[in-house]
Structure 1
Amino acid sequence: MTVPGRRSSTFSRLLRHGFTDPSAAERLLDLPALDALRGDPVLLDALGATADPDLALRGLVRLAEAQPETERAALTTTLVSAKPFRDRLLGVLGTSEALADHLARHPRDWETLVTYEAVDLHPGVAEFERGLAEAGDEVALRVAYRRCLLGIAARDVCGTTDVAQTAAELADLATATLRAALGLARAAAPADAAQCRLAVIAMGKCGGHELNYVSDVDVIFVGEPAEGADEGKALQAATRLAAHLMRICSETTVEGTIWPVDANLRPEGRNGPLVRTLSSHLAYYQRWAKTWEFQALLKARAVAGDPSLGAAYLDAVSPMVWQAAERENFVTDVQAMRRRVVDNIPADRIDRELKLGPGGLRDVEFAVQLLQLVHGRSDATLHSGTTLDALAALAAGGYVGRADAAQLDEAYRFLRAMEHRIQLYRLRRTHLVPEDEADLRRLGRSLGLRTDPVASLTREWKRHAAVVRRLHEKLFYRPLLDAVAQLAPGEIRLSPQAAGQRLEALGYADPAAALRHLEALASGVSRKAAIQRTLLPVLLGWFADSADPDAGLLGFRKVSDALGKTPWYLRLLRDEGAAAENLARVLSAGRFAPDLLLRAPEAVAILGDPGGLAPRGRDHLEQEVLAAVGRADGAEQAVAAARGVRRRELFRTAAADLIDSYGTEDSPRTSDPGALVDRIGQAVTDLNAATLAGALRAAVRAEWGDELPTRFAVIGMGRFGGHELGYGSDADVLFVHEPREGVDEQEAARAANRVVVEMRRLLQLPTTDPPLLIDADLRPEGRSGPMVRTLASYRAYYQRWSLVWEAQALLRAAPMAGDRELGERFVELVDPLRYPVEGLGDDAVREIRRLKARMESERLPRGADPTLHAKLGRGGLSDVEWTVQLLQMRHGWAEPGLRTTRTREALAAAHAAGLIPGEEAQTLDEAWVLATRVRNAVMLVRGRAGDTFPPEPRELAAVGRYLGYGPGHVGEMVDDYRRITRRARAVVEELFYGA
């Protein structure tokens, strides 16, 4: 017995060594079976190093008590003298209650852990076959299997093997066991064995060399008659052998079970014959197999039985596996299958499901398998059934980012290690994380988490699961996958000759030049070239789906050259959302957006951000521009910074416009052209307003610092004030100022004029960016009048000298930059002029009509087709705008809805007020939207402004694609334009001219 003093000391030591029940542990240590170990000074240290010291001590007592008296001394002596053996044995006992049970039933099996020969460190199938060789019956096979499993577990818990090596050893042990079981079945029925050839094909984790401790072993059986045997009888014999093999492995005896053998992955599943001939298998796969069956065959491996038959099966089905991605809806089928798996998990288990749940092992496996099946058609390096090997190959080939692959590898290993240790405890088939704190503590400690193991385990598990889920969503639902899957095999890796032929077939005007671009982008062995080889076959198709594929490919090469050393660029196109397709649409749609992008290629990142194409508001833009101006060293650098923001935002707006107009796989063509026109008009207006605010701040800072001697505001006019700017529009403006208190009026006027001169100079500095031209010709007295006036001067002029056309022009007046309060006071000043009380008199109406008629006859360019000129032609912008403005001036005083600077908004208000019937309002709106889109399209396609359809066929076709007309429908587009604007002109004749 232990004296009380020593008991107290031992109790404390047990607590320090991780025992949770020190009292019970003291009693166990005092048992006679451990007499020889009681004096061992390192026993408690060794027990404390295990996952569960209490469990390890109980297992050790049971093992010692099960030893014959003559053998117990050998066990205890070896434990004391051999640290490697002590670590192995106690490590297993502290992790697996089931293997402790086995050792208690078979007390001599501890000897298998005493020494490791070099080959035993990583035994293969041959070593395991030798370990099972003496099993003469089913019970002996189970015992021998557990003995081999004991060695695998010992290497695992002691860190001699990592999780991938452990999984491979388990698969090799399963292979050896299937061979031994088949041998027992043949020995029991030699007549059956003589009639047939039988091959066992491992599937799932066994086939992939990544088996769990406890798992169904999925198999497929292939049978053929032996030479001279009848096929029918041979298949019956093979079926009996296969069924016997399954019973040997699956049935429960006094020694438990090995594992269930599951043949449900065979053709027709449970309803199909257990054994088929090779030709029967092939006939099924060629005609009836579903997508998931080819995904399952990715891991097929011949493991037992007739080796030549097994090899013939794999040779026959392998090409089908790597053609599966060409099946219709292949990618979406695989994605839907994964979603169904998650949907079928019971709600009370989903948060504990390590294998099937979101962020679980299946997320990694499905993502890797889908990428393999899509890209493996043309890259044999991806043909591995082992998840981690395949993931490494995907990373090496550039199909997955190296950082993403490293994170997935780490997470997968952690989750598999959790799964192994959960199953190892009682050798039960489970993938649920336990809820009991003792189980969680043992699990955490088994994974090396010794400080607060329960909390540490939960934290690490959730961290890795979150990584898996994020990367699964990124890789598994990658838009590029479906596009690659839809390519024919010969289109994925093109020889120069095949590439030239395909380029010509796709509509490239200069296949030779296009081929040079391809070679420059994709030649070599670099990772960049590997990723380009993945992207280009898909991009070529997207470029071809445009009016100018050659321009798209050339633009892509230029962008790639400019960003060639930027690590995120190709990764963005490969991984992020619809970035690659978006880029293809933008580069092949015309000159404007690609020119902007090539001046700032880093803006490509906008195309991969889900919210990146949304326009930035005026306040956000102005804040960014003013901050950039404030950081600049001088006025010219300040405006250059403002222009940089404008360039980027013009690209954002143009890219969004093109993508909405063309549509992509993820984002169909917009169904509301009017909303698109409004969005572009607002975005460009806000951008130009922010740029003017930056130029104003730069001009003021250059001479006056923080404050100008006079308050200063920029008033937008025309389309600028109407928030209806297009990509090539000038900014019509008025400048207004008001001297600050105590400042001389002449000094204030000089300051205001110098600011205007400096703003115009800064904005006119030579640059490769699209110009922002400011036009002040709508000011009082036109070009003859002063550039900037005080508010009082504007009041005096408008009260005395204003003409009707000036009042009409002021319908679009809106503050855009500078002193907002001053801008609002200007608007209050001109409201009575543009919305005259009691409306316009007959003389004013006749004058407006006369001016419009004169403009039609004098300003339309010589030779222009009046039916196709978007601005001044029949039913074009001018017709609609003058009609709406006449209604505003006549009725704005009485109808508040008409008091807006926006054409479409005023037109809708006129209809709501009963001033224009609904059909006529819709006709005018449709014509105005179409004419605006034509002008925007011309700018996007040609890179310069224009008011009519371009004459060059390819450019005209590009305008047609922007407007929704496919190849060969350009004539239809022109006819539609003439029809819509002709109807609009009829409404104008009635409403404006009173015809």
Structure 2
Amino acid sequence: MTTVPGRRSSTFTRLLRHGFTDPSAAERLLDLPELSSVRSDPVLLEALGATADPDLALQGLARLVEAEEADERRVLLDTLVTAKPLRDRLLGVLGASEALGDHLARHPRDWQALVTYEATDLHPGVAEFEQGLAGADDPDSLRVAYRRCLLAIAARDVCGTTDVAEAAAELADLATATLRAALAIARTAAPADAARCRLAVIAMGKCGGHELNYVSDVDVIFVAEPIEGFEESAAVQAATRLAAHMMRICSDTTVEGTIWPVDANLRPEGRNGPLVRTLSSHLAYYQRWAKTWEFQALLKARPVAGDPELGAEYVDAVSPLVWQAADRENFVPDVQKMRRRVVDNIPADRIDREIKLGPGGLRDVEFAVQLLQLVHGRSDATLRSGTTLSALRALAAGGYVGRVDAAQLDDAYRFLRAMEHRIQLYRLRRTHLVPEDAPGLRRLGRSLGMRTDPITELNQAWKRHASVVRRLHEKLFYRPLLDAVAQLAPGESRLSAKAAVHRLEALGYADPAAALRHLEALSSGVSRKAAIQRTLLPVLLGWFADSADPDAGLLGFRKVSDALGKTPWYLRLLRDEGAAAENLARVLSAGRLAPDLLLRAPEAVALLGDPQGLKPRTREHLEQEVLAAVGRADGAESAVAAVRGVRRRELFRTTAADLIGSYGTEENPAEEDPGALVDRVGSAVTDLNAVTIAGALRAAVREQWGDTLPTRFAVIGMGRFGGHELGYGSDADVLFVHSPREGVDEQEAGRAANAVVAEMRRLLQLPTVDPPLIIDADLRPEGKSGPLVRTLASYEAYYRRWSLVWESQALLRAEPVAGDAELGREFIESIDTLRYPMEGLGEDAVREIRRLKARMESERLPRGADPTLHTKLGRGGLSDVEWTVQLMQMQHGWVEPGLRTTRTREALAAARAAELISGEDAQTLDEAWVLATRVRNAVMLVRGRPGDTFPSGPRELTAVGRYLGYEPGHVGDMLDDYRRITRRARAVVEERFYGA
């Protein structure tokens, strides 16, 4: 076939569309006479394109058809066209496994093992695999038969006929059948040895757990007994020869490759110990000398080959020892040390690619599950499974692991195992390292069903699942310690106070002795309250330990429990409502603001157990409650005290929802969109402050004028208040406007308006332990020098004659928040032409806005503040984003209705929709604005007082990081990410605002 130089053929284009990365090479293969039917068949080309690596699949198919005789080749190609199951299986394997492609090129008839597609073929067990290996009476024929069976397992796996757990179980069953076949060959070769002994092969590790990899050492232990009439020593020697021969059959490499190494190093004394022992010898070792890790390994012991009765006797004999292991001194620290040693021994250049042994890898799941099994399985036989996912399901069913945690671990474990399977399947090599090259990553991603952008999707999914595993491993790995500590009571000898202190210290408690005193105070005694506390504390301690300040969480819990201990509903709520206890733990250990609010009104704990309790209430609902409370009060001060009570409760509701939405719980996993959290907080705090001002206004009017003020009066929200973007520590920027009622003298109306403003401010500034609501009216005409209240006509006259460009800009966020609604609307109508000028902004006005912004940057940033970390005035911070958006609003708001909003994110989205800014630039600004807002909220939540930059203290900084989704120890990543995101935003500001 020839093409005009520089012009692509139609086949070339089709191959590109089907996912081939080297269409030219593929075209050359399709030019082969043997593959002529493939070129012209769209079904086959589409099937090749659906594989993990279409180029590899086509190469494998070309090698296979070349190896076939002409008649067989025709049958193969015809069958591929007509039989979809075979087509998907064979091409799927060829696209995922170069090694199995090699096998088919050497043994082309083996493709026929994939033809059968019946119920018995879908989930074969040991018996079916033994049939598949039947007739393999020498090592090489066994290797060929093994690969043929492996081919079928891989075909079901890559086609999705079996899931990853089923494929792993099939691999373990194939290993069992192979061990039996290899032992039979060894026995046939040495009949005299076979006659002297009973030999049982005990599978360990992943084979024993029914969760084997494609390429893995098969861990075994050998146990032997003499046949009657033979001495024990002679029987053990004979059994050793049989075992060694069996291992060589499986492990040796020939032209047909290898099956897999058989590893007996988990036996007593490891490689230094005898290969085969009698049952009594095994038991003597385990009872006297075995280390903790050896009992953990025995959890997966399963007889698979040889004498079945002896194998069962072995498992029955060692099982009680396994479930007594947790009683050993230093059991949990030994298990923890072993896991740490594994991580420490990973080479630095591999740790980020290691999906088995590295942090957030498969071994983290397995160790966490096994530790919980060994502790709780002493008294709960339902946990005694050697299979990780089965054990995890049992732990969740028994309440030892939260349902959401278990589901997330299950999902992550399956994903990581699927990655491991596909990596090993490619060349059938024992590896747990993610490829570094783009083709390898692309093939891996496509093999897992990722087709749009395989490499990016793979890395994102891998990072997400590894993060889940890392978090839950740390959480679950310590839970047995929590169980032991929580059941402590004074005078108990089951666990010494010294040991409890050490364990609390290991969990991250800075003052474990004080923590122990809190535990004893909460859980000692025989009362029902103490019994419920003993049930709650193990879980609560785990959640406290998952925070930046577990000591504060436990102390707060004790204070709340002391305050509510006599109420009948409190502990019952925590015990019976799944989310309530975890919600409380998150709130108490996340910082100062939320606990301070709760301790002033502990009954607000009830909000945490109600599924609807953390949803913000509407402004209308809150206003009705506040105004009703004012109406019932005896005087203005008691009215505002009632209003403050509502504000305190609702502020707690908002902070609790924010913390729980950021951290997530079993019942409510963390929200994925930080912008949604920011918007929810901004709207909730804005509504809350608006109704608080409305309540203070009603109280002030009632005190002096009854129901009617001599003048219509409205409060206009400005800045973040008007923008529905208030944070926990924000002031309430306002303007006060009034309009005399008909027949009322303007001076009298003015005196009334000023009096009501003064009274409102006095009432809201009365000393209180609640977070203050500071009213700031400095954005009014003439600033602090101008009158506090003006009539609507006065505002109109001032803005018409004297207003400066910054005042027009400030009015972009003006919105009525309290008082006379009709007057508020009139005020907004009067300023619309000012903030959205019909002719846009002239060059002089744009220069003035830029000059003001530059001056603010140079003069208002606090001395010594890091401009890369200041959320308000720093590089790429709130001011940068807001001024950029506001400039677009003033320039284009008159012709673009979507820009006429007081909300920054909404205006930015409208500018993007109107193509005033690119989608990428808008996303960059939005991300920076949301992050800076979240940091400000986090600082207030953590410290209990507002701040515009990250705290300097390590514990507070860690708490801010936890709120933002960073694990402990990663605050450096948080600061780096903040600088990176805001640096990108500043670059957009330089271009979009300053015109650089």
Identify the TM-score tier after normalising by the shorter chain: 0.5 to 0.7
Name 2:703's counterpart in structure 1: 703
Q: What letter corresponds to residue 463 of structure 1 in structure 2? A: R
* Residue identity matched to 1:349: R
- Residue number in structure 1 paired with 2:250: 249
Q: TM-score normalized by structure 2?
A: 0.57
String of CA shifts for 1:53-101, please: whole Å, max 9, x gaps. Answer: 1111111110011112342222222222222111111111111010010
Tell me the CA shift for residue 275 of structure 1. 0.8
User: Is residue 594 from structure 1 mapped to residue 565 from structure 2 by the alignment?
Assistant: yes
The aligned runs of 1:410-449 (5 Å cut-off) are: 410-449=411-450
- Counterpart code for 1:549: S
Cα drift, residue 365 of structure 1: 1.0
Alignment partner for residue 639 of structure 1, among 625, 641, 659? 641
**Relative to structure 1, is the Cα distance of residues 817 and 117 closer, same or farther in structure 2, using a 3 angstrom cutoff?**
closer
Q: Structure 1 residue 462: deviation in Å?
A: 1.1
**Counterpart-to-counterpart distance in 2, 1:542 and 1:125:** 56
Contact 2:543 2:585 in 1 (8 A): no
CA RMSD, Structure 1 to Structure 2 (Å): 4.9
Does the aligned pair in 1 maintain the 2:224–2:276 contact within 8 Å? yes
For the residues of structure 1 that align with 2:247 and 2:401, how far apart are their CA atoms?
Answer: 39
Matched-pair identity in %: 66
Q: Helix, strand or coil: the match of 1:331? A: helix
**2: CA distance between counterparts of 1:694 and 1:487?**
48
Change (3 A) 1:405 1:599: closer
Aligned equivalents of 1:617 and 1:542: distance in 2?
A: 20
Please state how far the C-alpha of 1:129 moved relative to its aligned partner: 0.7
Pairing of 1:793-942 with structure 2 (within 5 A): none
The match for 2:371 is 370
* Inter-partner Cα distance in structure 2 for 1:548 and 1:122: 51
The aligned counterpart of 2:831 is none
Deviation at 1:591, TM superposition (A): 5.3
Match of residue 549 from structure 1: 524
> Aligned equivalents of 1:257 and 1:158: distance in 2?
25
Supply the distance in 2 between the matched residues of 1:276 and 1:265 (Cα, whole angstroms): 13
Give the whole-Å Cα distance in 1 for the aligned partners of 2:356 and 2:478.
Answer: 20
Aligned twin of 2:45: 44
Code of the aligned partner of 1:242 = A
C-alpha displacement at 1:111, in angstroms? 1.0
SS at match of 2:257: coil
CA distance in 2, matches of 1:819, 1:645: 15
Structure 1 counterpart of 2:545: 577
Identify the residue that residue 346 of structure 1 maps to in structure 2: 347
Separation in structure 2 between the aligned mates of residue 208 and residue 318 of structure 1, nearest angstrom: 14
For 1:695-732, what per-residue CA distance to the aligned partner results, in whole angstroms no more than 9, with x for missing partners? 999976762699x9xxxxxxxxxxxxxxxxxxxxxxxx
Native 8 Å contact 2:601 2:649 kept in 1? no
* Per-residue Cα deviation, 1:519-577 (whole angstroms, up to 9, x for no partner): xxxxxxxxxxxxxxxxxxxxxx99994498347632665999xx9xxxxx997577553
Shift of 1:281: 1.0
Is the Cα contact below 8 Å between 2:197 and 2:226 reproduced in 1? yes
Note if contact 1:50-1:446 (Cα within 8 Å) is conserved in structure 2. Answer: yes
Query: 1:619: how far off?
Result: 12
**Native 8 Å contact 1:132 1:180 kept in 2:** yes
Indicate how the Cα distance of structure 1 residues 407 and 619 shifts in structure 2: closer, same or farther if over 3 A, else same.
Answer: closer
Say yes or no: does 1:451 pair with 2:452.
Answer: yes
Map Cα deviations across residues 258-303 of structure 1 (whole Å, 9 max, x no partner): 0011111111111111111111111111121111111111111110
Q: Deviations over 1:597-637 (max 9, x none)?
A: 96796796444557347577999999999x99997332457
Change (3 A) 1:188 1:36: same
Residues of 2 paired with 1:161 and 1:20: CA distance? Answer: 29
Q: Which AA in structure 1 matches 2:641?
A: V
> 2:268 aligns to what?
267
Deviation track 1:406-454 (CA, whole Å, cap 9, x = no partner) reads: 1111111111111101100000000000011111111111111111111
- Bigger radius of gyration among the two: 1
For normalisation by structure 1, the TM-score amounts to 0.57
Equivalent position of 1:393 in the other structure: 394
Q: Give the 3 Å change call, closer, same or farther, for CA 613–444 of structure 1 in structure 2.
A: closer
CA contact (8 A) 1:407 1:467 kept: yes
Aligned to 1:482: 481
* Alpha-carbon distance, 1:352 to partner: 0.7
CA positional deviation for 1:358: 1.2
> For the residues of structure 2 that align with 1:229 and 1:31, how far apart are their CA atoms?
66
* Separation in structure 1 between the aligned mates of residue 187 and residue 40 of structure 2, nearest angstrom: 53
Say which is worse superposed, 614-623 or 146-155, in terms of deviation: 614-623
SS of alignment partner, residue 632 of structure 1: helix
Number of aligned residue pairs: give it.
Answer: 641
Deviations 1:449-498 (A, max 9, x none): 111111111111111111111111221133xx11435899xx9xxxxxxx
Determine the structure 1 residue equivalent to 2:819: none
Contact 1:374 1:485 in 2 (8 A): no
1:23 aligns with 2:24: yes
Report the Cα distance in structure 2 between the residues aligned to 1:338 and 1:105, rounded to whole angstroms: 43
The CA distance in 2 between the partners of 1:237 and 1:404, in whole Å, is 50
Structure 2: distance between partners of 1:590 and 1:244: 67
1:98 partnered with 2:99 = yes
**Correspondence for 2:690:** none
**Which one-letter code corresponds to 2:545 in the other structure?**
G
Deviations 1:619-671 (A, max 9, x none): 9999999x999973324575357568989999xxxxxxxxxxxxxxxxxxxxx
CA change 1:701–1:228 in 2 (3 A) is farther
**Compared CA separation, residues 261 and 486, structure 1 to 2 (3 A):** farther
Residue 320 of structure 1 aligns to a residue whose secondary structure is: helix
**Cα offset, 1:347, TM superposition:** 1.1
Evaluate the alpha carbon distance shift between residue 631 and residue 186 of structure 1 in structure 2; reply closer, same or farther with a 3 A threshold: same
Matches within 5 A, 1:168-247: 168-247=169-248
Please list the CA deviations of residues 869-928 of structure 1 after superposition, one character each: whole Å capped at 9, or x if unmatched: xxxxxxxxxxxxxxxxxxxxxxxxxxxxxxxxxxxxxxxxxxxxxxxxxxxxxxxxxxxx
1:33·1:65 contact (CA, 8 Å) conserved in 2?
yes
Deviation at 1:51, TM superposition (A): 0.9
Aligned residue for 2:224, secondary structure, equals: strand
Equivalent residue number for residue 878 of structure 1: none
Supply the distance in 1 between the matched residues of 2:588 and 2:289 (Cα, whole angstroms). 40
SS at structure 2 position matched to 1:94: helix
Query: Structure 2 vs 1, CA of residues 258 and 610 (structure 1 numbering), >3 Å: closer, same or farther?
Result: farther
Distance 1:385 1:121 in 2: 24
SS at match of 2:42: coil
Question: What CA distance in whole angstroms lies between the structure 2 residues aligned with 1:288 and 1:253?
Answer: 39
CA distance in 2, matches of 1:285, 1:149: 36
CA distance in 1, matches of 2:392, 2:280: 33
- The answer on whether the counterparts of 2:303 and 2:311 sit within 8 Å (CA) in structure 1 is yes
Cα 1:323–1:76 change in 2 (3 A) is same
Contact 1:629 1:642 in 2 (8 A): no
The one-letter code matched in structure 1 to 2:338 is M
Residues 216-244 of structure 1: CA distance to partner in whole angstroms, max 9, x if unpaired? 00111111111121011111111111111
- SS of the equivalent of 1:209 reads coil
Q: What are structure 2's unaligned runs of at least 5 residues?
A: 495-515, 575-579, 605-618, 634-638, 653-692, 710-746, 777-996
Q: Tell me how far 1:326 sits from its aligned partner.
A: 1.5
- Post-superposition Cα deviations, 1:320-376, rounded to whole Å, max 9, x if no partner, equal 111111122222221222122112111111111111111111111111111111111
Closer/same/farther in 2, CA of residues 640 and 619 from structure 1, 3 Å limit: closer
Q: State the partner residue of 1:535.
A: none
Equivalence for 1:77:
78
| 1:617–1:409 CA distance, 2 compared to 1 (3 A) | closer
SS of aligned partner of 1:42: helix
Equivalents in 2 of 1:195, 1:486: separation in Å? 53
Q: Match of 1:136, SS? A: coil
Native 8 Å contact 1:572 1:608 kept in 2: no
Structure 2 CA distance, aligned partners of 1:701 and 1:268?
A: 88
Q: Which residue of 2 aligns with 1:315?
A: 316
SS in 2 for 1:314: helix
Match of 2:294 in 1: 293
Corresponding position of 1:145: 146
